[in-house]
Chain A
Amino acid sequence: MNTIQDLKYLPKNKELSLKVGEFAKRLLDGGAELLFAIVGDMSLAGQYADTALIFTESSVFYVDADEGCEREYPLSSLSDVRAKRMYGNATLSAVMPDGRREIFFRYTYSTAALCDAAALFINHLNDGAPLNDELAVVLVTIEHAISVCPKCGRKLLHPGAECIRCRSKIKVVKRFAKYITPQLKTIIVCIILSLLTTALSLVPPTVTGFIVDVVFSDGEGKSSVTVLNLIADAVGPDAGRLLFTMIACLLFTYILQYGFGIVRAYLMRTVGDKAVSALRNDIYERAQYLPMRFYDKTSTGAVISRIASDSSTLQQFMLRITQEAVVHAFSLVGIVVIMLTLNPTLSLLSLIPVILIVVVTRIFSKKIRPYYSRIWRRWSAVFSALSDTIPCIKVVKSFAGEARSTQKFKEKNAEWLDMDLKIGKLATAFPQIISFLVTTGSLIIWGIGGSRVISGADGYTAGLIVSFISYASMFYNPVTFFANLSDSFQSALASTERILDILEAEPEGQPDSAVKLDNIDGKIEFLHVGFSFDRTKKVLDDVSFTIEPGEVVGIVGTTGSGKSTLVNLLMRFYDGYTGEILVDGHNIKNMDLSDFRSRIGYVQQEPMMFSDTIFNNIAYGVPEATVEDVMHAADVANAHGFIARQPDAYDTVLGERGVGVSGGEKQRLSIARAVLKSPSILIFDEATAAVDSETEHLIQEAIDRLIEGKTTIMIAHRLSTLKRANRIIVVDNGKIIENGTPEELMAMKGKYYKLVEIQTMRADADRMSREERL
């Protein structure tokens, strides 16, 4: 083993603090061989503190740098080390040489997984396990525990993920740019068209100014625009003719401007639609491959809304940036240039309200932004009150809860109303205030410019004032656009966050060199498997067992004992377990995921059916199955009979109005689905728990046909389901407490014996009461 000379290379979950580092250095200098360190966060008294456990081959050192407390525990003096999770904190305790159990480390959940591993490490070493093997397990756990960004300390989505705060924003933009670039040509055309329409929109104010100054004054005056003067010369001195020529010019400009506008709007829409549909496809595809852990944390509703609405928000923003921003920037520059050439003094005057508008907008958006997210939260509370009760309407009615649920809904709705009214004052006042400022701005031009016209100041004409006011009003549009851009930037950022959460989430693990087996015999081994969903409670704890090919194994245990979790891990729905699971001697984590899953037939307690035809539902796993394959599978599953009795038979669309398929029938369809896959391993998760005994018999028959010669795991509550099992594993509190043939377990008179007793007693009682009635 390599000894660690430098603390830098000491495996640890977090950087050591200065003081703890000094202590570790002293240990190193004293010749100790350090293995790893667990940096904790809590003193034994439960205050946040700078603590650590430092492990050497023979001892563990506890340091509390805040208290200045240092203790050494020889590993051999710690027996039966236990990691106990409490509420918000956890402890490591051990039986000390004096025979008393003592707590020697206290920590929050942040280091809980690591301390679990440390407890096993000490216990296994004391049992004589080889150091290197045990150390390897701890080192892997440490690797998994490093889940914060090394740069900024931000919590990462998963260990080893790229920190989005620290990564370059350009990369984020690039990530989304790929949805835009295919449309680059169209976008460029759009931008050119935008520039044209903007340029055209700048023409009319000058022309109207010319009409006022030149046409109305019988061709006396001259315009500052040469083109217009040339036209006037060509038309001649007839004012009427000149007026209609100018009107024709304006009409022509408008036709071009709005004609280009139509083309541009259409192209823009195409670009947007294409981009958003590509993005939506990607998010959906990604969501399909996300691990179950993701769905445990994020409600399916949230995922649906991300695919449906967040992608649209983002699309709108992308279009605003690429299109409107360009247009507005261009017209802003154009207007400023024209206004300055027309009259610099008036231009500066019209800037006064602009400054006001920008200030007002800034203040407003700062004030209103927090309210938006609060409204949104109130609204989702209303929505969840809705989505909770409507699907459960049967329960509501059967418990006469209509009034109560109405009351609850009204409360949530009132909270929303309250918040919405609060923001309402601000939100409705804002656009009016802006319009007021804009209009007031024109008064300044009228006032100052107008009095100059009356006094006959040089360069001031009525036409100038008219065209200036038109330009000034066009000026505010782009200004408010840019002032409000931060708002839509905010909402786009929020959508980006949620979308990236899916796009960046680690998909189900797939090693680079995934093993594909030609043939699976069906040997299953669990080696020291431990698992916890949320770090608060261990669902499985050091579980080991072997199932030989062709065995039919029943897994028995009370609700919440961890038996379904065994299956979830075997199916690789969750990868975050400790220990190893092997199939035919291969670690399942190294196997090709979809190939591996396709070898397992999995029948759930509550079979889920798609709203599709019965045929397609059976053929879900094998879309290329022939009609007769499917019918054969239905035969095996005892399903053909009831399917044939449906008016639409195999073409019956499930989930449509009037289609009545019972729970037991659905179960047989899901068995047929499993049959069609011809799997090497079969898993039945309480497959008969929700059906009556007659249907159970039909299903049981189907199962018996199906499991012939295949490794089968049956999770069951009802022990009668396990008649075919040649081995029973009893799970209790995440541990295997019994494992053997039914006969052996009966002879042991343990938990299994008790369960059988209870169930036979119940069956006997049922029979007796039936006989009595007869």
Chain B
Amino acid sequence: MTERRYLTRNDKITRGENNLVSLAAGGESYRDLEPRRLFPVSRELEYITLLDEDGREVAVIRSINDIDEESQEVIKSSLDSYYLVPRITSVINIVQKYGNIHFDVNTDRGPLSFDVLRGNDIKLFRGGAVRVRDSNDNRYVIPDYRKLDKKSRAKLTIYL
């Protein structure tokens, strides 16, 4: 088993095509790497793995702050485009009828309606984060539901 390579400030990540990145590290260079989160739910900017075209891990970024600022930007924008988890900014309405929970919400990517099939798909995490999975397996997040406006909170808390 080879030792896992953790990137440092000496390594350089540059933008490639179609959200892929290139890496220059330890005298070697790699193209077409895909940054992916190892903890997509619990750690947004820690433990980011870089996979090559065959899905093999080339290196891991332990924390985004371990690499230089320019590389950080490249990684962040690539991750932003791969992981599309809209932030729910306010709740217009939530109604439950016959099993489906219908959401009308505003997100950071525009207003949206979607259906959640089960109460289990709305999960409250410690610290107030709420994650929602809709009937098409799209994900949504509320970073801290306690910070929503009063009306949104009242509508949402019933389902937490």
Give the interface of A toward B (CB within 8 A): 42, 46-49, 86-89, 93, 100-103, 108-110, 112, 153-155, 157, 164-165, 297, 370, 373-374, 377, 497-498, 500-501, 534-536
Contacts of A535 in B (CB 8 A): 136-137
Interface size on B, residues (CB 8 A): 34
Q: Which residue of B lies closest to A110 (CB)?
A: B136
Chain B residues within an 8 Å CB radius of A497: 98-99
Interface check B26, CB cutoff 8 A: no
Q: Which of A48, A103, A297 has the most CB of B within 10 A?
A: A48
Q: Does B97 contact A (CB under 8 A)?
A: yes
How long is the Cα–Cα vector from A153 to B114 in the complex, in angstroms?
Answer: 10
Interface residues of B (CB under 8 A from A): 17-18, 40, 80-86, 97-100, 102, 107, 109-113, 115, 117-119, 135-139, 157-160
Give every chain B residue within 8 A of A157 (Cβ-Cβ). Answer: 99
The answer to whether B84 and A87 touch across the interface, beta carbons within 8 angstroms, is: yes
- Once the chains are docked, how many angstroms separate the CA of A84 from the CA of B59? 22
State the Cβ distance, A758 to closest chain B Cβ, in Å.
Answer: 15
| Closest B residue, CB atoms, query A85 | B137
* Bound Cα distance from A548 to B63, whole angstroms: 54
- Choose from A87, A109, A536 the contact partner of B83 (Cβ within 8 Å): A87
Known: A103-B18, A108-B84, A164-B98. A155 touches B117 (CB 8 A): yes
CB contacts (< 8 Å) of B137 on chain A: these are: 109, 534-536
Contact call A46/B98, Cβ cutoff below 8 A = no
Say whether chain A's binding surface is mostly helix, strand, loop, or mixed.
mixed
22 A-B interface contacts by CB (under 8 A) = A46-B80, A48-B109, A48-B111, A86-B81, A86-B83, A86-B84, A87-B82, A87-B83, A87-B139, A88-B83, A93-B18, A108-B136, A109-B138, A153-B113, A154-B97, A154-B102, A373-B119, A374-B157, A377-B160, A497-B98, A500-B99, A535-B136
Number of A-B contacts (CB under 8 A): 83
Residues of chain B within 8 A (CB-CB) of A101 are 17-18
Whether B98 and A500, one on each chain, are in contact in the complex, defined by CB atoms closer than 8 angstroms, is yes
> A109 vs B114: C-alpha distance in the bound complex, in angstroms?
12
CA distance A105 to B109 in the complex (A): 17
**Which residues of chain A are near B80, meaning CB under 8 Å?**
46
Contact between A374 and B139, CB atoms less than 8 A apart: no
Supposing A108-B138, A534-B137 touch, asked if A89 and B158 sit within 8 A by C-beta, the answer is no
Shortest B43–chain A CB gap in Å is 14
A residues within 8 A CB of B139?
87-88
Q: Which residue of A lies closest to B124 (CB)?
A: A377
Given contacts A154-B102, A374-B158, A497-B99, contact A88 B110 (CB under 8 A): no
A87:B18 contact, CB within 8 angstroms: no
Complex Cα distance, B81 from A110, in Å, reads 17
Q: When A101-B17, A154-B115, A500-B98 are in contact, do A88 and B138 touch as well, CB less than 8 Å? A: yes
Q: Which of B17, B109, B138 contacts A46 (CB 8 A)?
A: B109
Question: Across the two chains, which residue of chain A brings its CB closest to B135?
Answer: A155
In whole Å, how far is B53's beta carbon from the nearest beta carbon of chain A? Answer: 12
Q: Which of A49, A93, A109, A153 contacts B136, CB < 8 Å?
A: A109
* Contacting pair B160 A48 (CB below 8 A): no
Minimal Cβ-Cβ distance residue in B for A378? B160
Most interface-central of A87, A89, A101, A102 (chain B CB within 10 A): A87
Who on chain B is nearest to A93 by CB? B18
Q: Which residue of A lies closest to B159 (CB)?
A: A373
